[in-house]
Structure 1
């Protein structure tokens, strides 16, 4: 790409809103309606800029300032290990410098061919435990089903339901019964064919997991996510039970502080879908992980809940990893952030074929964020 030094680093946090208040999951309290998006903008001396989510500070950023772009980013591998905090801004910058969308650069790293226009299946991730203030299970189930109906109107055709009410927020048996009622209600609302995923956030044990899947067998669950803390013995038991019950439900895991043996369990078939977080794992690392998963015939669906920026950047992995199953869609609006080329229609997200990730910031809003919450460094 030609050597060019990074001559400016700007960092600030934008604040956005979700369409409604988001409730609890099995282990955490209400998530609220506010999101915070820390962004870095890197500019090279030839005038090109890249923007990306970035957790950093002024000291770390100052170490990057003045370095040659070619020293910190390689088109054949991605971001160099010491600079992974700036992974997304560097990929965006690489796309701008090559005048290509990131998904084409990523596909080249993994020696893949992208069918364009790139279209990625996604799921609605917004169905949290928003019903804990209700005492009647029927009313609670109706509420979550109505939220699924809202997602359908937005264009979603797959839905992930948070479960595990009995782990913390309700008495165990009452929580289990309500989980089941909610699953039935959502299935009735969206019809018989659209995928339903379940996410217990480690709020179940093996026996509760089997009960839930047995009592919702007619609802045809696509995957059960984080049913309990990662455990190879329990995974093997659950796998054998699913086969004996003739259930096709996938086992998915990997969000948060996942067990270091998770990839080995994916290799031998105990786990079907790996869900490392798109940001803590990183785009560059996901490309390498995806190559391994493809080699084993395993699947991936990167987690990113917490900032809708992940809706866009995670979609670019779909062009580089054959086993990409679903994109998590975290609906929100952040003033100052724009991703105009991304469209959600009939359960699929179309990805724009513009340089970089196709994400822009409003200059006035970002400048204010830098002044209020960040820093600006220049050579």
Structure 2
């Protein structure tokens, strides 16, 4: 029986973030999310969500998901077919930014449909098994005292690695933040830092050289994400591994970065890389280029995808959607535990959704 897309619904919410997410570029006090429900002709409903950082673009992203969803109603519900159809419709616009996110969200919901219809967890549908996926605790706060408190809470979950955001002030402040994190989690934990694209290339080289004695797991996005040549200069000048990828819009941008030798690691954001379909295209390329793959946000679906990624490294545990999920990602002994239930693991807490509706 051929099944088709019956409807695509998108709902905007402002979910709570406690504590708020801080970066060198500003603070995100609530999580602007688009909740997506795709129903197919046989009555199966799949779910996915998108996180867009600022409420200013929440109406636009919600509308885009709705309009693109309407365009595929009545067509095959096969995720690859829908993704190809939507990309073809937007070819003259070169689908990036919000357009890629909208396509990715619909794609994720359709893969959830496939897994539910098959009665399998997404990871099993993709050929993997629901084993725990090693994760790192990703901190939301940046002030040293706040870092100590948050890191001690994360340490109770058994993580062996942590990431903290730096770059809001000078080198001395970066060292203070890293020292606060080490004090909280102990000398044996692996630490990474994220500059969130804030440094010019010469300053990034100087700053990373100065932090060499910290023995960091990686330094993430030290300069502009679209500056592959600049990141290649940084990588060639420092010994600390460079982490890139959360800002890649699809596998083409990933490939350009890999060709430029811009980083040592790859980090996939499932909403930017192209949903489940885009991730599955990108992962073998990263593996062939010898790049360990970690994830950015989306711990539920990213855990399933990392479980079938040949060069999987670490899952980022920073759950921005927990406030509207019935069963948020669960961490045991520093690993995210995959539920052995049909679907991708995304189910709405409808009472919370009503409460936080934007």
2:14 corresponding residue in structure 1: 15
Moved more, 94-103 or 51-60: 51-60
Q: Which has the higher contact order (CA 8 A, sep 6+)?
A: 1
Equivalent residues in 2 for 1:282-361, closer than 5 Å: 282-304=275-297, 310-332=298-320, 334-339=322-327, 342-361=329-348
- Equivalent positions of 1:98-109 (< 5 A) are 98-107=118-127
- The 1:99/1:208 distance shift into structure 2, 3 A limit, reads same
Q: How does 1:115-126 map to 2 (within 5 A)?
A: 116-126=129-139
Instruction: Provide the C-alpha distance between the structure 2 equivalents of 1:185 and 1:369, rounded to a whole number of angstroms.
Output: 36
Indicate conservation of the 8 Å contact 1:42/1:49, yes or no.
Answer: yes
Match of 1:277 among 254, 258, 269: 269
Give the direction of change, closer, same or farther, for the CA distance of 1:213–1:62 in structure 2 (3 Å limit): closer
SS of structure 1 residue aligned to 2:295:
coil
**1:93-135 deviation line (CA, Å, top 9, x unaligned):** 010111121123334xxxxxx3x33211222222433x3xxxx
Residue 87 of structure 1 pairs with residue 107 of structure 2: yes
Report the CA distance shift for 1:13/1:272 in structure 2 as closer, same or farther (over 3 A).
same
Name the CA distance, whole Å, in 2 between partners of 1:369 and 1:80.
Answer: 36
Inter-partner Cα distance in structure 2 for 1:95 and 1:228: 39
Change over 3 Å in CA distance of 1:43–1:194 after alignment to 2: same
Unaligned runs of at least 5 residues, structure 2: 51-60, 88-102
Q: Contact between 2:19 and 2:140, CA under 8 Å: does it hold in 1?
A: no
Q: Residue 289 of structure 1: CA displacement?
A: 0.7
Preserved contact between residue 165 and residue 176 of structure 1 (Cα < 8 Å): no
Q: Which residue of 2 aligns with 1:63?
A: 71
What TM-score results when the alignment is normalised by the length of structure 2?
0.80
| TM-score normalized by the length of structure 1 | 0.76
CA contact (8 A) 2:6 2:39 kept: yes
Distance in 2 between residues matched to 1:292 and 1:193, nearest whole Å: 32
Change (3 A) 1:364 1:9: farther
Gapped runs of 5+ residues in structure 1? Answer: 108-113, 132-140, 167-174, 305-309, 374-379
Partner Cα separation in structure 2 for residue 332 and residue 196 of structure 1? 21
Instruction: Describe how 1:1-379 pairs up with structure 2 within 5 A.
Output: 2-23=1-22, 25-26=23-24, 28-32=25-29, 34-53=30-49, 55-57=61-63, 58-69=66-77, 72-73=78-79, 79-82=83-86, 84-85=103-104, 86-107=106-127, 114=128, 116-129=129-142, 131=143, 141-166=144-169, 175-229=170-224, 231=227, 233-242=229-238, 247=239, 249-256=240-247, 262-267=254-259, 269-281=261-273, 282-304=275-297, 310-332=298-320, 334-339=322-327, 342-363=329-350, 368=354
* Counterpart-to-counterpart distance in 1, 2:140 and 2:322: 20
SS at match of 1:165: coil
Moved more, 49-58 or 95-104: 49-58
The answer (yes or no) to whether the contact 1:127–1:160 under 8 Å persists in 2 is: no
Report if the CA contact (8 A) 1:157-1:194 is conserved: yes
CA contact (8 A) 2:21 2:141 kept: yes
Following the alignment from structure 2 to structure 1, what is the Cα–Cα distance between the partners of residues 86 and 253?
A: 24
Superposition deviation, residue 286 in structure 1: 1.2
Compared CA separation, residues 352 and 208, structure 1 to 2 (3 A): same
